[in-house]
Chain A
Amino acid sequence: MSAAVVDRRGFLKVSASAAGLTLAMQVPFGAQAQDASPEVTVWVVMKPDDAIVVRIARSEMGQGTLTGLAQLVAEELDANWAKVTTEYPTPGQNLARNRAWGNFSTGGSRGIRESHDYVRKGGAAARMMLVQAAANEWKVPVAECRAANSVITHGPTGRTISYGKVASAAARLPVPTDVPLKDPKDWKIAGKRLARLDTVDKVTGKQVYGADLKLPGMLNAAIRDCPVFGGKVRSFNAAAVASRPGVKKIVQVGDSAVAVVADTWWRAKSALDALPIEWDEGPNAKVSSADVAAILKAGLDAPEAAVGNRVGDAKAALASAARRIEAVYSYPHQNHATMEPMNATARWTPERCEVWTPTQNGEAALAATSEAAGLPARQCEVYKIHLGGGFGRRGMTDWIRQAVAIAKEMPGTPVKLLWTREEDMLHGRFHPVTQCKLQAGLDAQGNVTALHMRISGQSILAGVNPQGIQGGRDPVVFQGLNPPGPEASIGYTVPNLLIDHAMRNPPVPPGFWRGVNLNQNTIYLECFIDEIAAATRQDPLALRRKLMAQHPKHLAVLNAVAQKVGWERPPADIGGQKVFRGLAQTMGFGSYVAACAEVSVSADGDLKVHRIVAATDPGHAVNPQQIEAQVEGSFAYGLSAALFGECTLKNGRIEQDNFSTYPVVHMQHMPKVETVLVPSGGFWGGVGEPTIAVAAPAVLNAIFAATGKRIRDLPLKHHSLKRA
C-alpha cells in the first residue's frame, strides 16, 4: 500500500520506508516540502540556507519553460538566481488545493504567455512578505527596507538579513492581494540570456525520463494495439508465450490491444512479438490515403462550409474580377515522433492509483487515471516526469489509460508500459490532413480584389474535444487566418475575403502538433501570395507590403527579415550554385513571425537549404538565448515535415512504422538559422511554435524562385526538382 498522505496544505508526504519504496534513483514524487521548508507563496518555497524552490506547473519538454517561468518568479522575488531550483507540484496537490497552481496544460506555446501574470505575482508577493517579515523583526517601517539578490537591507541602519532567515515568519503573514509588478525594462533576471536550469543531468545520463523509471518490484509491459484504426482483438494465444523467460502475464487491454507483462521490458517485447494475435479489423480495413484524399477533394466545392473570416462578398467579387488565379494545395498526416516513445508507470490498488508519466497535461492525466482506475480523482495521483519530447503528443492520455488498465490486472505491483517505436508510429495522434482551394480575383491593374480560401479536411477538436465544436464549426481550423485581433490573425487586407472550412474527418485519430493548423494554413496562404506575385510580376516582398499596410506588427517582422537578409541585393552563389530566396510570414500563438529561406537546387534537383533568417515578435522576451533555441528547433521540425513528413494509410493502417520509413531532418539537412528578436512589448506571445509555420512556405517559395516549380503538396521527397 502507499503511505502517501496529504498534510494540511494538501502536500504529499511520502514515507519511503512505510511504502516499501527504497528508491534506486531520483524518482519524482511532486512537491514534497518534506523538510518543512516554508512555503512563502504557492510558487515559492524558501529554505533556511537561502535555497529557493520555484514551483512550476507547466511541463518541461525541452522548450525551456521551466527556466523561463523560474526567471519570471525570481525576477519579482528579487532572488539570488544562483540559489534557484524548481519542482513540479502534482496534479493531485493542485486538486486538493483548489487549483492553487492554475492550469497545468502545456501546449499551444502557452507556458509563459498564459501564466506570466500570476507566477510573477507569486514571486512579488513572496518578496513583499519576506521584506515585511524582516521589518517586523527589526521593528522598523517596511518602507525603509528593500530587497535585492535574496537579501533584505534596512536603509537607515544598513542592517541586512537573508531571505532564508525570515522565511518562516514570512510564510505566516497574509499573502498580499495588491501586488504591483516590475516594468519589464527594469528586469535583471527575466529577459536575460541565462543558461537553463536543467542541462547538466541531460549530458551525464542522470536525467530520469519516464522510460528510465524504476520502482521497487516493478514489472514491465509491452503492448500492441490493433494496427487498423477502429479494429479490435478477436483472439490471442497466451499459452504460446506464457512460459517464455520472465513473462508474468498476458492481458487484453480494452477491446483493441494486448499487452505482455514481464520482469524486463525486452522480455515482454520479445514475447509480444511471438504472441499470435487475431484481429477483427473492423469497418476501416480497406481505407487508404487515396480514399481520404477523394473525400477531402469533394469538400473543396461543397456548398456547406463553416465560415472563419468574411469581409465583403468574395464570391461576387471573384465572379466579376478581371482576372482570376486558382490553386489547390494539400497537407498530409504526420506523426510527432518524439524521441522518447509513449510510456507510463502505474500502480493500482482498490484504494489508490498512482501514475508516473511524461505528460504535457498533468490534470488531464489525473482525470484519465481516475477514469481508468475506477477511483475518485482524490484517490489518484500523477507524478510528472521530464518529457523526452512532446510536440503536442503528450497532451493526450491514451497510453496512460492503457498503463492503468494493465496495472489493474496486477494489484499492488507497479507496471511500466513502454511503447515500441513501431507502436508509437502506428498509434500517433496525427497532424490533421487538409486540402485547400485558393481563388484570387484581380482587377485590371493587378490589385487583389477578392480572396477565397476553402479548407477541406480534418478537425482536431472533433477528434479530441468535440464539445469545442461551435455549431458545427471548429474555430481552431482557422489558425493564422482569423480576423484582426490578438490571436492568429491574418496579416493581409483584401476587400472581399472568405475563408471557410468543410469538415471532413477520416478514420485517423488527429491531435495537436507543434504549430498544427498554423502550419498548413501558412503554407496555403503564403505560397498563394507568392503565386499572385509571380502572376502579376510583382516582387513578393513588395506585394506583401502593399497588402499588409494595415497590419503593422505583421509587417514589422517581415521588414526585419528583409533587412537582415538584404532582400534588395541578390544572394551570393554558394559552391558554384546560385542561391534563391523565399519569404513567408504569419501570426499565431500570440506572436508575429516571418522568415526568409535561402536555397539552391542543383541541376540534378538536389535541394540545399543554406540559411533561414527568422524574425519573431513575442511581445516580451523572457530568455533570448532560449527563444533562439526554440526558433532553430522549430525549423528542424518544420523542415522535417516539409521535406519528409508523411503518414499514409493503407488497408486502414499507417504504413510508416519507424524512422526508416518516416525520415526526419538530420545534421546534414539543417540550415544555418539567424534569429532576429524584435519584442515590441505590451503583449505576451509564445515562442515554441509560431516560427515552425513559416519554415515550409519560405522554402517552397525559394524553390519556386530557383526552379519555377510550384510545389502544392508535401512532402517534398515526392517531387523532382530536376530542371526540365
Chain B
Amino acid sequence: MATLHVNGAPRTFDAEPDTPLLWALREQLGLTGTKYGCGIAACGACTVHIDGVPTRSCVRPISTIGANEKVVTIEGLSPDGSHPVQRAWVQLDVPQCGYCQCGMVMTAVALLQAKPNPTDADIDEAMTNICRCGTYNRIRAAIKAVAQGSTRSAGLNIQHVDGSVA
C-alpha cells in the first residue's frame, strides 16, 4: 500500500512502488485530467505540482514522493475551474483538442507563481510542454492576460454567451 497527499487529502492505495505518479493518479485515484503523452517527460501532458513545483509525473515513481509532499493535480487546482489561469484559458478559447491543456495550465500556474509578470523569454523557457494542435500563441496571450488582469490586450474579440467579450 502507498499513501500520497493529493489535492488536500491523504490517499492510500495499492500500487507497486515503481509505479509512476501519473499512473497512480489516473488508475488508482481516478484523476484522469493528468494525461499520458510520452512517458519520458518530454511532452508535459502529465504535469502536476509537487509542493508547488511543476513536475512531469510520468517518470516520477510514487516511492520517491513522501507522504507529506503535497501533490496537486488539475482537479485540485480549483473546485470549479475558477482559478485565474483556467478562467483566462476559457475566455481566450485556448484549447483545440485540449489533450495537452491541463498540463499547460499546471505549468502556467507555476510560472505565474514564480514570475507574476513573465516576459516572452520567461514564457518560452517555462512553457516547454508540447501542443500538436498549435495553441501556443493563445497560451502566451492567456498567460499575459493573467499577468495583466485583462484579456483585452490579446485582441481576440471572442464573444461569450454571457455577453462578455474577451
Contact = CB atoms under 8 A, between A and B. Distances in A.
A193 B159 contact: yes
A212 B130 CA distance: 19
A201 B158 CA distance: 18
B73 interface: yes
Interface in B25-76: 26-28, 30-40, 42-43, 45, 73-75
Contacts of A658: 38-40, 42
Contact of A629 (B36, B93, B102, B129): B93
Contacts of B37: 339-341, 421
A200 B135 contact: no
B159 A192 contact: yes
A24 B30 CA distance: 9
Contacts of A199: 89-90, 93-95, 98
Contacts, number: 205
B130 A203 contact: no
A83 to B, nearest CB: 9
A63 B73 CA distance: 26
Given A629-B96, A633-B134, A203 B101 contact: yes
Interface of B is mostly: loop
A206 B33 contact: yes
A204 B128 contact: no
A82 B86 contact: no
B5 interface: no
Interface residues of B, number: 66
Contacts of A672: 137
A264 B135 contact: no
Contacts of A112: none
Contacts of A193: 156-159
A420 B20 CA distance: 14
Interface in A626-647: 626, 628-629, 632-637, 640
Nearest to A390: B97
A387 interface: yes
B71 to A, nearest CB: 14
A389 B133 contact: yes
A629 B40 CA distance: 29
Contacts of A660: 40, 42
Contacts of A389: 97, 99, 132-133
A544 interface: no
A207 interface: yes
A205 B102 contact: yes
Contact of B134 (A25, A265, A636): A636
A664 interface: yes
A666 interface: yes
Contact of B130 (A195, A339, A390): A339
B19 interface: yes
B36 A211 contact: yes
Contact of A200 (B81, B124, B130, B138): B81
A61 B127 CA distance: 23
A626 B31 CA distance: 30
A282 interface: no
B23 A666 contact: no
B131 interface: yes
Interface residues of A, number: 71
A343 to B, nearest CB: 10
B130 A666 contact: yes
Nearest to B37: A339
Interface string A253-279: 000000000001111000000000000
B160 interface: yes
Contacts of A265: 23, 27
A421 B39 CA distance: 7
Interface string B133-166: 1111111100000000000000011111100001
Nearest to B75: A205
Contacts of B19: 266
Nearest to B156: A625
A337 to B, nearest CB: 6
Nearest to A422: B39
Contacts of A214: 30, 32
Contacts of A388: 35, 97-99
Interface in A665-713: 665-668, 670, 672-673
A185 interface: no
A81 interface: yes
Contacts of B4: none
A153 to B, nearest CB: 22
B137 A204 contact: no
A62 interface: yes
7 contacts: A62-B95, A62-B96, A203-B102, A204-B80, A266-B20, A632-B134, A658-B40
